[in-house]
Structure formats: C-alpha cells, structure tokens
Amino acid sequence: MPKDTRDAVDDMTDPAVAATGRRAVLYRMALPDHLCPSGQKARWLLERQGFEVDDRLFRTRAQVDAFKESQGVATTPQIWIEGERVGGYTDLCERLTGWDPNATTYRPVIYLFAVAAATALALSIGVLGAVGWQTLGWFVGISMILLGMQKLRDVEGFATMFLNYDVLARRWVPYAYVYPWIETGAGILMTGMLLTWLAAPAALIVSAIGAWSVFKAVYLEGRTLKCACVGGNSNVPLGFVSLTENLMMMGMAVTMLVLLAI
C-alpha cells in the first residue's frame, strides 16, 4: 500500500487545510466489494499532473454515507487542491486539463475512419498482396459497418438526433430506426461483394437522401446541429463529416452498379 494511502477515519485533518501547494486530498471508496474506478482515475490524473496525493479511503458504506452528509455532496470521489474542494473526477478533469464534456469534436469520426483504413490496408496486403482500388472499396464498406454499429449501439439516441435533420425520417419516423440496419447490412454485403443488386441500390438511396438532408439543414438553412453519424449523444457537429459519409456511400454504390452492368 502506498505510504500516502490510509483509511479516511485515520486522518481527520481538514482537507482544505491539508491541500496546499502541490499536495491534493482525495477521498474515495475502497470497500471489500467495490474499488471505485473514478477514484482510481482521479489518483492517476493527480499524480500525472505532479500532485502528491493524500489518499483517504473509505472502507465501509457507513463511512461513505457519513462523509457525504458532512460535506453535503452526493457522490465520491471528492478531491481538494489548492485549499478548495474541486468536486469529483469529471470536475477534476475540467480543472486540470480543460476538458469540456459539451465541446464539439471530430475525434470519434477520426478514430473510426482510421480503424477502417487500417483494416482495409491489412486486408489488401494480407489477401491481395498489394494496395489497389479494392482497398478503397473495403475502406468504404468497413466504414459503413462501423458507422452502422455506432448507430445500433443506441438506436433511440440516434433516432432522436437523426429526426432533427433527415428529410425522410421527419416525414416517416420508422425510417430513423431502419436506417442503421440498412447502412450496416449494405456495408457488409458491399465489403464481401455479395448481392450487389440489393446492397448498391439500398446504399445509393439512403446516402442520396442523407446527403440532401445534411446539405439542406447546414448549407441552405444554416442550422447548427449535432451529427448522428456516430450514433446518439455524440458531440460531432453536423456538416462536412456527415456529408462525406453519405458521398462515400453514394460513390461506392454507383461504382458497384456500374461494375454490375458491365
């Protein structure tokens, strides 16, 4: 056990007094049946930021309840730095790193496309022994699968965001629930070059509707919305990314239909 880890009841020093300079006071649960993950992350973040951690552990539920009542807080962990209570782990992140849970970000989409690209390259090199046009096709197909799975992870959340801008879903609500299945299924079939006569037209139709919906909402109406492309409750702004997603699907679908007709 680290030297600055102790039972909370063994140190009754006022945390506001103890938390001075680069010393932080952390109260967290370490019960026999529960080691608080947020408390562990808080300690790690404090140490990474150069703080010496006065780590005070609750060993029983009674200690936790008594602490919450005495401090007037609803949750643990609770952290003090620079003589004042910061709050819990997310409050600490905001204080030390500037993290904003409501900030818009493209990070989820960047990660998703990076994984799709790496997978497409791995397939090309491993199966074909070279990188070619098939690599691009796999990239688009795999991206569709991953994007579809993100939507299926929380269909209700996706549908709520999707209904803010999709022209067909706003006229026929069930389409918001069907769309993720169409995208995922078409991506699977297009990746395997199977049932092209079904997958390509389906992808072309939904992507054309999607592209028009995004263009209309963002570029014609000037609305500021969050994109449902990576599922519900994301902070990805609606615009270029979602438009690109739909244009990629359209391009892949048209290419496959042309190849089918040759």
Question: Across residues 32-52, what is the average pLDDT?
Answer: 95
pLDDT of residue 229: 81
Local confidence band at 8 (pLDDT 50, 70, 90 cut-offs): low
Q: For position 3, what pLDDT does the model report? A: 45
Across residues 18-39, what is the average pLDDT?
93
Predicted TM-score of the model (pTM)? 0.80
Q: Which helix (H) or strand (E) holds 37?
A: helix 37-48
Give the residue with greater pLDDT, 149 vs 228.
149
Longest dimension (CA), the chain: 81
Q: Give 1's pLDDT tier (boundaries 50, 70, 90).
A: very low
> Which tokens is 132 given?
């070619």
> Residue 164 has what DSSP assignment?
T
Encoded amino acid at 252, one letter: M
Q: What backbone phi and psi angles, to 5 degrees, belong to 31?
A: -80, 160
Asked if residue 140 lies in contact with residue 146, where contact means CB atoms within 8 angstroms, the answer is no
Provide the 10 A C-beta neighbour count for residue 261.
6
CATH superfamily placement of domain 5-97: Glutaredoxin (3.40.30.10)
- Per residue in 137-154, pLDDT tens? 899 999 999 999 999 999
Dump pLDDT digits (tens) for 186-216.
999 999 989 989 999 999 999 999 999 999 9
